[in-house]
Amino acid sequence: MVSRARRIVEAGIPVMGHIGLTPQSATMLGGFKTQGKTAEAARQLVVDAHALEDAGCMSLVLEAIPAPVAARITAEVAILTIGIGAGPDCDGQVLVYHDLLGLTEGHLPRFVKRYANLSREIRDALEAYAAEVRSGAFPGEEHTYAMSEEELEAFTAGLDQAVRPG
């Protein structure tokens, strides 16, 4: 992970490192579980954070790690830390907007706080739209564009001649 980050940085591309729970590697980490819960695992996260900083990362995402571990990493590295389930002591916070807005259903990680529950409203709106399209209620006259009778007649006559010449 560190060697890849270093190569990307050397190519002139800014890199945001990511430690703790990395969803793309969750199956290798035992699933979507908190990382760094043992002293040894927590120390390794600190080592990894320093290694990514030394590789040239511009910042670090700290995901699903105990708050005291994230606080220690934030205090020790000179680059910004962005927490997602890593407590209040990171330099910034992030949530996946699908979770924040309640667009997804089912199990959510402990660190997710919902600020809305839009999934039901969206489903209701889509079902109402589909029903109105099927029944012919949408689009109504107020949702269409008209043209004058004279222009409609000229259009129709011109089209009939253009499509069926002679």
Q: pLDDT truncated to tens, each residue of the chain (166 aa)? A: 899 999 999 999 999 999 998 866 555 555 567 888 999 999 999 999 999 999 999 999 999 999 999 999 999 999 999 999 999 999 999 998 888 899 988 888 888 899 998 999 999 999 999 999 999 999 999 999 999 999 999 888 877 666 565 5
Question: Would you say the C-alpha torsion 82, 87, 91, 96 has a positive or negative sign?
Answer: positive
- Report which of 72, 64, 65, 106 is spatially closest to residue 89, judged by C-alpha positions: 72
Beta strand pairing status for 92-93 and 80-84? parallel
- Secondary structure of residue 148 in the 3-state scheme: coil
117-139 residue pLDDT tens: 899 999 999 999 999 999 999 99
Residues recognised as catalytic: 63
Where does residue 16 fall: left (phi above 0), alpha (psi -120 to 50 degrees), or beta otherwise?
beta
Cis upstream peptide for 88 (omega within 30°)? no
Which amino acid makes up residue 78? A
Tokens 């035992």: give the residue: 30
For 78-92, letters b (16+ CB in 10 Å) and e give ebebbbbbbbebbee
> The pTM is what?
0.72
